[in-house]
Structure 1
Amino acid sequence: MNSTTINLPTPLELMIDLSDDQFFDLCHKNRDFQFERTASGILVIMSPTGGETSNRNIELSYQLQAWSRQNNLGKAFDSSGGFKLPNGAVREAWATPIRSPDASWIQSERWESLTQEQREKFLPLCPDFVVELRSASDCAERTGEANRLKTLQDKMKEYQENGAKLGWLIDPKTKQVEVYRSGQEVEILENPTLLSGESILPGFVLYLTVIW
């Protein structure tokens, strides 16, 4: 039987009815791709990133993990970590959103409250802190630059509505950062050299010169 390669656009969005366990199994068996599920039940399939974005992601995760290990206030996660967001705060939600921020962090007491089984699957909570890094594919003209940016902004608002206390949407192309805080309007920073974790991540500073 001859095999055929099908080239699909990414991110690809499909409407597939999957249980949480089926979705977890799908992700586990297809590690070359990243999957998310929206509150409306849409399955989002993303391909691996390019080298430049991958390098920025690891730099971001490295800085966050280095701070986290020093103070032991919580647990940090990279872009492969999945979170089942509490959908009660999401308007018109009928599916449990499952998201994978590029970097995230939760307080120790929230991690300690989880069972071992919960820790081994998608974590059933929203992170206290999230970061989304806009990649070259997010800026690609073929995907509609304005639409892709809005998709990322909607994700940030979703985190905010589900309990995230602090969030950063970082755009290396424009050197712009959107800061999302619980119960506040979005703040836009132009070409900052660093970002403060404020009271949510006390003492954490993300240096952006190595990310720009």
Structure 2
Amino acid sequence: MLTLPITLDLKTVNLTDEQFYQLCVTNPEIQVERTPQGDLILMSPVGGDSGNQEIELGADLVIWNRRTKLGKVFSSSTIFRLPNGGDRSPDAAWVELSRWEALTPEQRRKFPPISPDFVIEVRSPSDSLKTLQNKMQEYLDSGVRLGWLFNPKAQQVEIYRLGNVKETHGLPATLSGEDVLPGFTLRVNSFGE
């Protein structure tokens, strides 16, 4: 039996962006990401607890954005083609409106070639913390300005800011969207209780 995620070393294949896009849309039942080095990562689906945690956190972001109309919110099904060459799917993401509107309709329809301004990742039981921390660093290296990595197992959240050192806080916690998401605050209680 295979344990996901699985990383496939495809450096010698060197898929173009269009080939990667076609691979994903032709196989919608498989959640795939691509590293900047060209490796494909086959992701496992999340269970009920993780799916609920993702949508609850994303819902607060959607409510704030509907009120402010400052950008666009994206689900975990969205793959962003990052400037560093990776193709990643955060559990929730937000892009400032003028940056989103600068993309062509074709770019918006496919995998947007843009780094989100804000991302959320929630560690599921099958996720390696180190792998997710590396993914958060990849986001920062691609221009993400603020990111929150929730670790329900440890009852913690790691806060990543462009140009700053990561901070770790225990839960419950009240998080601020700072200057990236003006006026957005999120109160997170303990997970799974």
Decide: shared fold, TM above 0.5.
yes
Name the aligned partner's letter for residue 132 of structure 1: E
> Residue 113 and residue 56 in structure 1: after superposition, are their counterparts in 2 closer, same or farther (change >3 A)?
same
Deviations 1:123-152 (A, max 9, x none): 1011000111100111xxxxxxxxx21111
Matches within 5 A, 1:128-147: 128-138=117-127
Superposed CA offset, 1:90-127 (max 9, x none): xxxxxx21000011101011011000000001110110
Q: 1:188 aligns with which of 159, 168, 172?
A: 168
Q: Please report the TM-score for the alignment, with normalisation by the length of structure 1.
A: 0.85
Residues 15, 43 of structure 1: 8 Å contact kept = yes
Which residue pairs with 2:179 in the alignment? 199
Q: CA RMSD in A?
A: 1.3
Residues 211 and 32 of structure 1: CA distance in aligned 2, closer, same or farther (over 3 Å): farther
Q: Offset of 1:211 from its aligned partner?
A: 4.6
Gaps of 5+ in 2: none
- Unaligned runs of 5+ residues in structure 1 are 1-6, 88-95, 139-147
Q: Secondary structure at the match of 1:137?
A: coil
Q: Which of residues 82, 88, 92 is equivalent to 1:85?
A: 82
Over 4 Å off, 4+ runs: none
Task: Flag the structure with higher helix content.
Answer: 1
Report the equivalent of 2:145. Answer: 165
Question: Distance between the aligned counterparts of 2:75 and 2:191, measured in 1?
Answer: 16
Contact residue 32 and residue 47 of structure 1 kept, 8 A: no
- Please, which of 3, 6, 17 is the counterpart of residue 9 of structure 1? 3
Contact kept? 2:76, 2:91, Cα under 8 Å: yes
The CA distance in 1 between the partners of 2:77 and 2:66, in whole Å, is 19
Give the conservation status (yes or no) of the 8 Å contact 1:163–1:182.
Answer: yes
Aligned partner of 1:63: which letter? D
Matched residues in 2 for 1:21 and 1:9: separation?
Answer: 28
1:34 match: 31
Paired AA for residue 23 in structure 1: F
The CA deviation at 1:32 is: 2.1
The alignment-based identity, stated in percent, is: 51
Change (3 A) 1:13 1:169: same
Alpha-carbon distance in structure 1 between the residues aligned to 2:30 and 2:189: 29
Query: Contact between 1:64 and 1:76, CA under 8 Å: does it hold in 2?
Result: yes
The TM-score with structure 2 as length reference comes to 0.93
How many Å apart are 1:209 and its aligned residue?
2.2
Paired with 1:21 and 1:56, the residues of 2 have a C-alpha distance of 32
Query: Which residue does the alignment assign to 1:43?
Result: 40
